[in-house]
Each structure stands twice: as C-alpha cells, then as structure tokens.
C-alpha cells in the first residue's frame, strides 16, 4: 500500500490568499476562520499559528490589496500632475467596481496622514503609501503651477473624498450603463481639477 504524500506546511501567505479569494467570491460576511480552515483542509486551531485573529487576517488582506493599488499608482510616475490625478482616480474606481468586497476590506483600516497629523494605531502602511502617492501628485501640481491651493493635504483629502464617493455610488447597482459610469468619473475629476486649476492670464495683460 502506497503511503500518501505528506501535506505541505501551512503558510501565512497561503492563508491570506485563500481568505482573499473567499471574500472576493462570497463576500466579506462569508469569511470566518472555521470556513477558511475548511477550505484549506485544516482545523481552525491550525490557523492560529499564523494569524492572531480574524482582524489580523483582514488586515493582511487589505495590505495585499493596497499594495496592488500602490503599484498601479506608481506606474503613473513621471506624468504631469493632472494626468496622474486622473489616472489615480480611474485606477481607484475601476478597482472598486472590479472587487467590491475586497474594496470594503481595504477601508476597515485607515492610512496615516503626512505633515505630522495624528496617526491611528490601526494605520495600515500600504494604505499610507497609497495616500502618499496620491497626495504627492497634488503637491507636484502645486509646485509645477498646475494647481493652486494653500493646503495640499486638504486638497488631497478633497479629491479622495470625491472619488471614494463615486466608487461607493457605483456599488449601489443603480442600473447605470458603463458609459454613464465613466462619464460620472470624468465629470467628478474634471470639476475638481477645474476648481484647483491655476488661473490663466489673458493675453495682453
């Protein structure tokens, strides 16, 4: 009789990846350590050697998703500030439309804010990095004279609030066509950019 091959040792990365797939397919509420253990073919107790609790697991999933967002944001490096801002908005909304349940997980954990703002004990490093890249695009726009504001952090939070609002509205299943959804994203970002755009001096003045 042939002995069965030994099972590979359970790894934290494997647990996080399986949790991600479960959330993506069945929703955030579907995730439990017992159900996850069943998917992995282990006991729930075995998971505790790798994750402290469900929140620790969700934090790891959120970190993974924000890292993907960071990579997409970083791909816009070198573009004009306004183009970076437009690209960031599209990436953000497209992600929310593509992975609505994972999007919910990401915002269980806040980013830290720059400029010495008070930081939460729940701050997620990858979320902080993603916000930092978005905020840097605003700062670059101000430095280049594309945008005008005396408070770049306030402007960055304003852009984020608006685009996050669009992403949330598009998850309400309002029956909008993809083309109309794209128009909503464009309308929001272009109105914001227009509000912060440096005024042009008329010729002859």
C-alpha to C-alpha distance for 168 and 97, rounded to whole angstroms:
9
Q: What is the pTM of this model?
A: 0.86
Q: Enumerate residue ranges in the chain where pLDDT < 70.
A: 1-8, 115-121, 200-205
Identify the pLDDT of residue 29.
Answer: 93
Q: Structural domain boundaries of the chain?
A: 12-47, 62-196
Identify the pLDDT of residue 120.
Answer: 64
Helices (H), the chain: 12-26, 33-40, 44-47, 54-74, 81-98, 100-106, 125-143, 152-169, 178-196
**Which fold does the domain 12-47 belong to in CATH?**
Arc Repressor Mutant, subunit A (1.10.10)
Assigned CATH for 62-196:
1.10.357.10
Q: In the 8-state DSSP scheme, what is residue 113? A: P
| Three-class secondary structure of residue 164 per DSSP | helix
| Three-class secondary structure of residue 34 per DSSP | helix
Identify the pLDDT of residue 194.
Answer: 96
Dihedrals phi, psi of 75, to nearest 5 degrees: -65, -15
Element (H, E) at 110: none
Dihedrals phi, psi of 36, to nearest 5 degrees: -65, -45
Identify the pLDDT of residue 3.
Answer: 47
Query: Are the C-beta atoms of 52 and 12 separated by less than 8 Å?
Result: no
Identify the pLDDT of residue 8.
Answer: 64
Identify the pLDDT of residue 78.
Answer: 85
Identify the pLDDT of residue 98.
Answer: 93
């Amino acid at each position: 009789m042939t002995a069965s091959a030994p099972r590979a040792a359970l790894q934290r990365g494997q647990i996080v990846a399986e949790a991600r797939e479960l959330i993506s397919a069945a929703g955030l509420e579907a995730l439990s350590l017992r159900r996850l253990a069943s998917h992995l073919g282990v006991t729930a107790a075995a998971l505790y050697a790798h994750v402290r609790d469900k929140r620790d697991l969700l934090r790891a999933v959120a970190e993974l998703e924000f890292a993907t967002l960071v990579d997409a944001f970083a791909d816009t490096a070198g573009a004009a500030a306004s183009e970076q801002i437009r690209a960031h908005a599209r990436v953000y909304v497209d992600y929310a439309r593509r992975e609505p349940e994972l999007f919910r997980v990401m915002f269980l954990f806040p980013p830290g804010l720059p400029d010495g703002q008070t930081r939460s004990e729940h701050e997620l490093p990858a979320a902080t990095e993603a916000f930092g890249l978005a905020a840097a695009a605003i700062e670059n726009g101000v430095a280049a004279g594309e945008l005008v504001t005396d408070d770049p952090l306030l402007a960055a939070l304003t852009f984020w609030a608006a685009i996050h609002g669009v992403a949330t509205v598009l998850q309400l299943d309002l029956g909008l066509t993809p083309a109309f959804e794209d128009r909503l994203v464009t309308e929001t970002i272009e109105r914001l950019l227009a509000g912060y755009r440096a005024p042009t001096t008329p010729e002859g003045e």
